[in-house]
Structure 1
Amino acid sequence: MNASVDPRVERIASHPAYRRLRTARNRLGWTLTVLMLLAYYGYIGLIAFDKAFLATPVAAGKVTTLGIPIALGLMVFTILITGLYVRRANREFDQLTQQIVEESR
């Protein structure tokens, strides 16, 4: 069964700005994904292979070990890269999307 494609969808798909949008959005998404996976699996790797390092006290006589601030840093990193994506999406990707829609009418 052949489904007819809406001409507006075809115009949007062939729009040069749409190609730029897809490329930029995919590049950013994959970059942030790789960074997050490296950070997360790096931490899991430390847990698996270097427990002694994570068990090192932050300071003499302190109960808190290095594992706690590193885990908190991982959480902060996650929030920061999410914020980076949202900021770029709101500033660049949304404007490009609006331009593409307007020009494809």
Structure 2
Amino acid sequence: MTTHNTPHAQHFDRIRSNPKFRRLARQRARLAWSLSAVVLGVYYGYMLIVAFAPGWLRLPLADGSQLTLGLPLGAGIIVLSWLLTGWYVRSANTRFDALSAEIVEEAQA
């Protein structure tokens, strides 16, 4: 592989060597993996309940109710996924974007 010594390549090298860039990459990865683990844990937990205790999901929410426990639990999982996605987007649009702008500004100097 050949390395190009263009101003463009030098600009990216300055960005990659910036400690703030490494911190940004580490923080984004940690948040993404943590949220992914939560979502996967909840989904797999739900599937384990479906597989090993399906009767529990058929329990009515109240006496005489047609609504079972499984429906709001499934809807709760979907809402949790949306909320965690919103948390990541908010973090990306506030913290991560501000840090990215600092890094690019420092690389241009």
The two structures have a TM-score, normalised by structure 1, of: 0.96
Query: Is 2:4 the counterpart of 1:4?
Result: yes
Q: Structure 1: which 4+ aligned runs deviate by more than 2 Å?
A: none
Aligned to 1:32: 35
Aligned to 2:80: 77
Identity of aligned residues (%): 43
- 1:2 maps to a residue whose letter is T
What do the CA deviations read for 1:69-90 (whole angstroms, capped 9, x no partner)?
1001101100110011011111
Aligned to 1:99: 102
Q: What's the RMSD between the two structures over aligned residues?
A: 1.0
Q: Shift in Å at residue 12 of structure 1? A: 0.4
Count residues with an aligned counterpart.
105
Q: Shift in Å at residue 36 of structure 1? A: 0.4
The runs of 5 or more residues in structure 1 that have no matched partner are: none
1:13 to 12, 16, 22: 16
SS of structure 1 residue aligned to 2:43: helix
The two structures have a TM-score, normalised by structure 2, of: 0.92
Q: Shift in Å at residue 2 of structure 1? A: 1.4
